[in-house]
Chains A and B, each alone.
Chain A
Amino acid sequence: MTYPDTLVRGISDKNTVDPDDSKPAVGAMNFKEVGRSDSYKELSINWVDDEGAISEIRNRRKENGEIQFKAGLALVNRKKIEVHLADSIMSKEFCYERKPDPENKYHGNLLMNAKKKIERMIVAVLCYNCVDEIQPPLEE
């Protein structure tokens, strides 16, 4: 399986962007327990195979028509993930996958199965050490 160098995470809540650092706060990367058979928690992302991946997530709307990611988009550098989370990847506490669905061919997940103290650190590393930029949301 091949992966592009960049992935994008949508941010819904303006309170989860740190204005001082222009980095997402940890609340923007909240891994969810979804009952997977492999016990991994998921964080939904788009793989940036082309510009369409960013366009898809920027234009995504909720059922009521509102823009879903009102606080912007975090562009995450996969190579930095490979470097900074090398130990966690090696120990299989952290990994990622493609999981395209009929409506979004770019969809994938970051996956985590770690003790809580490791989980807190991994999320902080993702937010502060692996995010290259935060792009503004679509203007309504």
Chain B
Amino acid sequence: MPIKNNYYNNNSETSTGFEKKSRPELKQTISNDVTSFSIDDIEYYSSLPQNVDIFKGVNLKITEIENESIKKCVYEFLNIFRFIIEKNNRIMRFDNNLPKLKMEITEDGAALIHWNYKHIRIGFAFEEPIEESSYYLVFDNKVTGSYFSKSEFLDRNNFHVIIEKLLMFVLETT
């Protein structure tokens, strides 16, 4: 079933500034059966330009996630990610090719989404319990010799802020 997300049509928000525009309300009319979710079934995805469609043609194995909480969380995360890409593409008109997302399911049932681009490695780990989910950023520029890494908890209420910051970092440093 195609997703119709009301993220940008929601006028009931009362927060201000950045959060007002990007805070996800997630009132999308999605199938309740998230196990039927398939990234290629989403009409919206094909509307993203090829160079920024980080979701298409990659192994986002959402149907292989056994834990329902993790599955819903991943779904929510990808949906917000998609809207942030779309929003920023409207403003900035990306020229470059953004890296594709990849997913792995670990032996302990966690879903790991990787976003690797040149000397930047970004990972999102969706864990059970969800509160233990986290993300990391590893920057390793072999030309300049600069390196740093950090990891933080992935707060479900702050997906939009985290994704936007990481996207800006990728765009500014590549």
Contact = CB atoms under 8 A, between A and B. Distances in A.
A136 interface: no
A116 interface: yes
B155 to A, nearest CB: 12
A116 B104 contact: no
Contacts of B123: 120-121, 124
Interface residues of B, number: 22
Given A25-B104, A128-B121, A129-B121, A121 B147 contact: no
Contact of B125 (A21, A116, A125): A116
B151 A121 contact: yes
Interface string B91-118: 0000000000010101100001010100
Contacts of B125: 116-117, 120
A63 B103 CA distance: 32
B127 interface: yes
B106 A121 contact: no
B138 A117 contact: no
A118 B102 contact: no
A25 B98 CA distance: 20
Given A27-B104, A128-B116, A120 B136 contact: yes
B112 A26 contact: yes
Contacts of A120: 112, 123, 125, 134, 136, 151
A21 to B, nearest CB: 7
A125 B149 CA distance: 9
Interface in B128-159: 132, 134, 136, 138, 140, 147, 149-153
For B121, B136, B149, which residue has the most chain A Cβ atoms within 10 angstroms?
B149
Given A26-B104, A26-B112, A118 B140 contact: no
Given A117-B125, A124-B138, A83 B106 contact: no
A18 B102 contact: yes
Given A117-B134, A121-B138, A84 B147 contact: yes
B140 A84 contact: yes
A84 B152 CA distance: 17
A128 B106 contact: no
A112 to B, nearest CB: 13
A120 B113 CA distance: 11
Interface of B: 102, 104, 106-107, 112, 114, 116, 121, 123, 125, 127, 132, 134, 136, 138, 140, 147, 149-153
21 contacts: A18-B102, A26-B104, A26-B106, A26-B112, A27-B104, A27-B107, A84-B140, A116-B125, A116-B127, A117-B151, A117-B152, A120-B123, A120-B136, A121-B138, A121-B149, A124-B114, A124-B121, A124-B123, A125-B149, A128-B138, A129-B138
